[in-house]
């Protein structure tokens, strides 16, 4: 397993950021989702050794997060969320400098810096000073520095924040390319659910410092049955009876009811209740829940 954490606890003073997080993640691109303050960045920082957990244990690429932080950082790339760079350096010097700090020989770090800058699409401007870069270019540069030492695992913290749609698409394509074809495992922490849906096959949803949900996105979607229903007649009692049967109901603007049913729910119940309440079902379609639905359900918001 490349990421294995067990019962991780961490508090900022009296505020609990992580409360017994356990994960066992291996191949592919993994999405780390959660609302603000869910503990995503804290978890990444603990896995990188920036923060020492109050309790629990973990191994990243089989290195202990408490005692082998240097080894972890040697084989893990990190792309921080914040705008960060070293001023007065051009992109090549910046990237090779960070390669050297990872332990690469000087000349190889320089050679490799050119390669990764080329890969992320900064070849034309690699001799420009970093502070003159646009937001999108800085983001690509952050990605380049996280790749320069050829990591086995990369942590990407909000990799598309502040990008225009074109830039976002390019970065996401790059992430898909890295995770699917380059044998590099990627952990993406993001608020942008479509980004996670596009790039990741596995998702971990954190909420209030605990793992609210995790699994293959496709399987998680299958678990939750969603029906789209349009009714004619008095819907209030119908809806109340559905809720009594542990169904979650959302009403869209165009009058369609999205009904999330509990596991092993018998859909004949819809027709039975409709018959009892003498209302007509004008539209009845089994739909697939989106990542947004999963997220909303996991963190408990409508």
Partner 1 sequence: MTIKEKGYTHWDGEFLDKKLPWWPITRYGIKLTFRKKFFKLIFPMSLLPAVVFLAGIYVSERLEDFKFMFRESVPFLQINPAYFKTYLVDNFMLNIMIIIVIFCGAGLISDDLKHNSLQLYFARPLKKRDYFFGKTAVIVFFLFILTLVPGLVFIIMKLVFAGSFKFFLSYPWLPLAVIGYSIFVTAFFSFYVLFLSSLSKNRRYVVILIFGIYLFSDIFWAVFYEYFHNHYFSLISLRANIQQVGAFIFSQKTPYPIPWFYSLLVLTAICVLAGLVLKKKVRGVEIVK
Among 205, 209, 213, 188, CA closest to 37: 209
71 touches partner 1 (CB under 8 A): yes
Cβ closest to partner 1, residue 55 vs residue 103 = 103
126 touches partner 1 (CB under 8 A): no
Q: Which residues contact 78 (CB under 8 A, 6 or more apart)?
A: 44, 48, 146, 154, 155, 157
265 touches partner 1 (CB under 8 A): no
Task: Tell me if 188 sits within 8 A of 29, measured CB to CB.
Answer: yes
Task: Tell me if 190 sits within 8 A of 197, measured CB to CB.
Answer: no
Cβ closest to partner 1, residue 75 vs residue 265 = 75
Choices 177-185, 207-215, 258-266, 284-292 (CB under 8 A): range interacting with partner 1? 177-185
Helix (H) or strand (E) holding 18: strand 15-25
Which residues are registered as beta bridge partners of 231? 281
Number of residues that bind partner 1 (CB under 8 A): 55
Among 97, 86, 45, CA closest to 69: 45
The count of C-alpha atoms lying within 13 angstroms of the C-alpha of 48, restricted to the half-sphere facing its C-beta, is: 20
24 touches partner 1 (CB under 8 A): no
Q: What is the x/- site pattern for partner 1, positions 27-66, by CB under 8 A?
A: ------------------x--xxxx---------------
Exactly one of 7, 9, 22, 89 binds partner 1 (CB under 8 A); that residue is 89
277 touches partner 1 (CB under 8 A): no
Exactly one of 1, 62, 70, 292 binds partner 1 (CB under 8 A); that residue is 70
Three-state SS at 31 = strand
The rounded distance, in Å, linking the Cα atoms of 142 and 191 is 19
Cβ closest to partner 1, residue 76 vs residue 291 = 76
Q: What is the x/- site pattern for partner 1, positions 150-169, by CB under 8 A?
A: x-------------------
User: Can you state the percent helix, strand and coil of the chain, rounding each to 5?
Assistant: 40, 30, 30
Exactly one of 1, 86, 223, 285 binds partner 1 (CB under 8 A); that residue is 86
The rounded distance, in Å, linking the Cα atoms of 28 and 116 is 21
Residue 130 DSSP code: G
Contact set with partner 1 (CB under 8 A)? 12-13, 45, 48-51, 69-71, 73-74, 76-78, 80, 82-89, 93, 97-98, 100-106, 108, 112, 115-116, 118-121, 145-147, 149-150, 170, 173-174, 177-178, 181-183
């Amino acid at each position: 397993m490349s990421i294995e954490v067990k019962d991780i606890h961490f508090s900022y003073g009296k505020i609990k950021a992580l409360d017994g997080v356990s994960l066992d993640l291996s191949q592919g691109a993994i999405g780390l989702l959660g609302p603000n303050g869910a503990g995503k960045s804290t978890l990444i920082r603990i896995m990188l050794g920036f923060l020492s957990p109050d309790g629990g244990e973990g191994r990243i690429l089989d290195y202990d997060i408490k005692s082998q932080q240097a080894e972890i950082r040697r084989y893990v790339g990190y792309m921080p969320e914040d705008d960060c760079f070293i001023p007065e350096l051009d992109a090549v010097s910046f990237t090779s400098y960070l390669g050297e700090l990872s332990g690469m020989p000087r000349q190889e770090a320089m050679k490799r810096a050119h390669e990764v800058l080329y890969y992320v699409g900064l070849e034309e401007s690699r001799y420009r000073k970093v502070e003159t870069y646009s937001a999108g270019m800085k983001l690509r540069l952050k990605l380049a520095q996280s790749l320069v030492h050829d990591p086995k695992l990369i942590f990407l913290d909000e990799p598309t924040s502040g990008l225009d749609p074109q830039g976002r698409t390019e970065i996401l394509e790059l992430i898909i390319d890295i995770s699917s074809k380059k044998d590099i495992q990627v952990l993406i922490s993001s608020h942008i659910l479509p980004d996670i849906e596009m790039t990741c096959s596995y998702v971990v949803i954190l909420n209030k410092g605990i793992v609210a949900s995790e699994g293959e996105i496709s399987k998680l979607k299958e678990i939750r049955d969603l029906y789209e229903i349009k009714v004619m007649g008095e819907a209030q009692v119908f809806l109340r009876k559905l809720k009594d049967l542990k169904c979650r109901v959302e009403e869209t603007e165009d009058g369609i009811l999205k009904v999330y049913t509990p596991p092993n729910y018998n859909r004949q119940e819809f027709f039975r209740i409709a018959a009892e309440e003498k209302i007509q079902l004008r539209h009845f379609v089994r739909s697939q829940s989106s990542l947004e639905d999963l997220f909303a359900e996991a963190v408990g918001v409508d």
